[in-house]
């Protein structure tokens, strides 16, 4: 029911009431009709002016204020807008929409708060583990091990050094993610052959794969180069993280396979291992900072726990997509897209 129809109904009730009282005394239907029509017109005009002045204008201002808060517009601009709309219906609609929006924002804030607590807990654990290890080794050495057992002392020093390296990697990765998020690291796109970059990256990691007896297979349909437009250094970082990840979590005597699929205006690169796989419930979280599907085993393997998060930030900074799919007991595939360079052959 709009504003004018509401006023009409109220005016009709008043008019009928007055006409009924008049008919009670006069007992004339013509007089009844005249009083009813005149009362209806006068009541309608008076109620319209009164309600418009004292109620409708205030509701209209509230409505405009709501819109100003929602859209962040200047009030002077908003006062000139929506003059022809029914403020009551518009306000009701806007308040409902606003309530839904605020409810959604509250849910997002709760999710962010949960993520913040988990992040602080994870980062605390990631720092404490190597720090306590270093502290233990140093305390043992201070108690006289250097003099009593030189070989064991050197072993402890090497372990302390590895834990210091772990802290360094962690700090560097955190710094890099922070810079990626704030845009401090710029993406310098250039045209390069992605197959050549993959071969170069595999060459860096081949020794690590051989220690695990893992074969790295590059599935290339032909020997023609495939040119993309991206930040070569950052994409190599993505490849290193994903291939290294497949080696760490792949099965002994297993295989890492790299596939390249030319799409319409993109290139899809996929890295697949035949490791233990990831539970389906965890797939959506693998790109979160410090998220580990098997925390005890993952920490034994090493790493900062930020590699996949860095991959996600780099690919998204290129306005491209990254995804993961996995089947427990069969293996995991990570894939990302890159923009094709013009004149690609």
CA–CA separation, 44 vs 50, rounded Å? 10
Task: Using alpha carbons, list the distances in angstroms from residue 29 to 24, 43, 173.
Answer: 10, 20, 91
Question: Which CATH fold would you assign to the domain 100-182?
Answer: Helix Hairpins (1.10.287)
N residues, the chain: 345
SS3 content of the chain, % helix, strand, coil (to 5): 65, 15, 20
Q: Kind of pairing, strands 215-219 and 255-262?
A: parallel
Please provide residue 261's backbone torsions phi and psi, each rounded to the nearest 5 degrees: -120, 110
Predicted pLDDT of residue 52: 66
CA–CA separation, 309 vs 287, rounded Å? 5
Say how many C-beta atoms besides its own lie within 10 A of residue 292's C-beta: 17
Question: Which CATH fold would you assign to the domain 190-339?
Answer: Heat Shock Protein 90 (3.30.565)
Are the CB atoms for 220 and 259 separated by under 8 Å? Answer: no
The predicted-structure confidence for 121-159, as pLDDT tens digits, reads as follows: 777 777 787 888 888 888 887 777 666 677 888 888 888
The predicted-structure confidence for 19-56, as pLDDT tens digits, reads as follows: 787 777 777 777 778 878 888 888 878 877 776 666 65
The reply to whether 190-339 shares the fold of 100-182 is no
- Paired with 339 in beta bridges are 266
Task: Using alpha carbons, list the distances in angstroms from residue 34 to 25, 44, 45, 67, 197.
Answer: 14, 15, 17, 45, 94
More confident residue, 50 or 278: 278
Please provide residue 256's backbone torsions phi and psi, each rounded to the nearest 5 degrees: -115, 125
The predicted-structure confidence for 205-252, as pLDDT tens digits, reads as follows: 999 899 889 999 998 777 788 999 999 999 999 999 999 989 988 888
CA–CA separation, 309 vs 291, rounded Å? 9
H helices of 183-259, in order, are: 194-211, 232-249
CA–CA separation, 111 vs 118, rounded Å? 11
- 194 in helix, strand or coil? helix
**Which residue ranges make up each domain of the chain?**
3-85, 100-182, 190-339
């Amino acid at each position: 029911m709009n504003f004018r129809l509401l006023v009409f109904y109220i005016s009709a009730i008043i008019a009928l009431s007055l006409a009924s009282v008049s008919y009670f005394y006069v007992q004339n239907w013509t007089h009844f009709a005249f009083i009813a029509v005149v009362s209806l017109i006068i009541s309608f005009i008076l109620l319209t002016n009164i309600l418009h002045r004292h109620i409708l204008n205030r509701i209209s201002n509230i409505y405009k204020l709501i819109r100003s808060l929602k859209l962040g517009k200047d009030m002077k601009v908003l006062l000139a807008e929506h003059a022809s709309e029914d403020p009551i219906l518009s306000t009701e609609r806007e308040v409902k929409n606003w309530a839904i929006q605020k409810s959604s924002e509250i849910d997002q804030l709760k999710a962010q708060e949960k993520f913040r607590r988990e992040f602080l807990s994870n980062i605390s654990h990631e720092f404490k583990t190597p720090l306590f290890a270093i502290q233990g080794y140093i305390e043992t050495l201070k108690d006289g091990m250097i003099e009593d057992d030189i070989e064991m002392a050197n072993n402890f020093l090497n372990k302390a050094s590895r834990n210091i390296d772990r802290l360094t990697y962690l700090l560097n990765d955190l710094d890099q993610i922070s810079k990626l998020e704030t845009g401090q690291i710029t993406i310098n796109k250039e045209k390069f052959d992605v197959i050549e970059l993959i071969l170069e990256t595999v060459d860096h990691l081949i020794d690590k794969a051989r220690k695990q007896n893992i074969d790295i297979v590059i599935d290339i349909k032909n020997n023609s180069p495939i040119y993309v437009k991206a930040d070569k250094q950052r994409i190599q970082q993505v490849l290193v993280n994903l291939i290294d990840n497949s080696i760490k979590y792949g099965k002994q005597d297993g295989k890492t396979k790299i596939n390249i699929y030319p799409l319409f205006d993109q290139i899809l690169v996929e890295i697949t291992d035949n490791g233990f796989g990831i539970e389906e419930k965890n797939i959506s979280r693998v790109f979160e900072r410090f998220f580990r599907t098997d925390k005890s085993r993952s920490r034994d393997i090493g790493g900062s726990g930020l590699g996949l998060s860095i991959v996600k930030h780099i690919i998204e900074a290129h306005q491209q997509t990254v995804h993961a799919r996995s089947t427990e007991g069969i293996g995991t595939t990570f894939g990302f897209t890159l923009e094709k360079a013009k004149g690609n052959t």
